[in-house]
Amino acid sequence: MKLPGTLAFTLLLIAGSPHAQSPGEITFWESVRDSRNPTELQAYLDHYPNGTFAVLAKARLAALQRPAPAAPATTRQAAKPAPAAVASFAPSAVTSETRMPQAGDAWTYQLSYPRLRGQWGQRARPPSTHVVKVSQVGGGKIVDQLSIDGGTPSESTHSRENYLAPQGAPVFSPYLVAFRDLPQRGSLGRVAILEPGCSGRYACDASARVLGQESVQVPAGTFTAVKVAVSHEWRPSGSGSGAAAIAGFMGGRTLTVWYVPELKRAVKMESRVTVGDAPPVESDFDLELVGYQVK
């Protein structure tokens, strides 16, 4: 059986490489392999400087950065400026038809854990690569699958509601901007909490608020985003064994989310503990978009 050229070349690289390939590297490379944006290829090289596909990535990066030969002038009209490059593929305008994801749309993120003040001496946690792919859209629902570092995909169903739910990390309504227009500023109301950690020994409350528009830079590029802040607080659900024990289980975090309508999804989520030392969920992390392909 004759293999397609790109796949055959990829398999040849893997077979002839002295380095072991992690599932995460292969998944990362597959997400940027056909990209024509230098930022995505550089993101792969930054993450895997000695990776199996580093030579190929460098060659493609050099080709993309090589200036194109000037075309001979044929008229006296001024040449039109070239359109700005995008990180991958996205609709040129947001309409009721293009704002919703379609089956096959995909986003690649990196989840990392910052070293914060007061955490020195603790073991560093390596980042992970999260690939989200839409499998079904309909009936006011979006079904997607998340694969972490090339692992077995897990399925999640999303709606237009405000909610906190586990999807590799405790995230807030990732497709909110695809379902509805957000106000320029103001409250989004209370937030439903679907995190298992906020049941049993903990009771949790959350609310969300639009802070306005802001330019945000992530590995996939720089975008104009709608910025939303989620206030998530927790407390012990029972009386505990004393005031000190109860105080130790009280706390909160702020989850900041940047939505880009053209990309139909959040491009960045930043979570930080604001008070307390025994959170019921993962509370200090950064989730940033590395690459995407939407119709």
Q: Measured between alpha carbons, how far is 173 from 165 in angstroms, rounded to an integer?
A: 8
Q: Are residues 111 and 57 in the same domain?
A: no
Which residue segment(s) compose the domain that 29 sits in? 16-64
Whether residue 281 has pLDDT greater than 90: yes
106-137: pLDDT as tens digits: 999 999 998 765 555 567 789 999 999 999 99
**pLDDT confidence band for 272 (50 / 70 / 90):** very high
- Answer yes or no: is 99 within a domain: no
- Answer yes or no: is 79 within a domain: no
Q: Are residues 131 and 236 in the same domain?
A: yes
27: closest CA among 2, 50, 47? 47
Mean pLDDT of the region 155-173 = 96
Cross-strand bridge partners of residue 107: 132, 292
Q: Are residues 152 and 285 in the same domain?
A: yes
List the CATH number of the domain containing 189. Answer: 2.40.360
Q: Are residues 53 and 126 in the same domain?
A: no
- Answer yes or no: is 121 within a domain: yes
Q: Are residues 25 and 169 in the same domain?
A: no
**pLDDT confidence band for 76 (50 / 70 / 90):** very low
Q: Measured between alpha carbons, how far is 54 from 45 in angstroms, rounded to an integer?
A: 6
Whether residue 163 has pLDDT greater than 80: yes
Per the prediction, the chain carries an average pLDDT of 81
Of 8, 36, 64, which closes a domain? 64
- Answer yes or no: is 100 within a domain: no
Q: What's the structural domain count of the chain? A: 2
Cβ count near 128 (within 10 Å): 17
- Answer yes or no: is 6 within a domain: no
- Answer yes or no: is 20 within a domain: yes
Q: Are residues 129 and 254 in the same domain?
A: yes
- Answer yes or no: is 188 within a domain: yes
pTM score, whole prediction: 0.68
Q: Are residues 125 and 254 in the same domain?
A: yes
Q: Give DSSP secondary structure letters for 106-132.
A: EEEEEEE----TT-TTSPP---EEEEE
What pLDDT, on the 0 to 100 scale, is given for residue 248? 63
Cβ count near 148 (within 10 Å): 19
Whether residue 75 has pLDDT greater than 80: no
Q: Are residues 146 and 217 in the same domain?
A: yes
Q: Are residues 166 and 225 in the same domain?
A: yes
Residues 6+ positions from 37 with CB-CB distance below 8 Å: 64, 85, 86, 87, 88, 221
- Answer yes or no: is 8 within a domain: no
Cβ count near 2 (within 10 Å): 5
What pLDDT, on the 0 to 100 scale, is given for residue 7? 45
Q: Are residues 255 and 132 in the same domain?
A: yes
Q: Are residues 221 and 286 in the same domain?
A: yes
Q: Are residues 120 and 54 in the same domain?
A: no
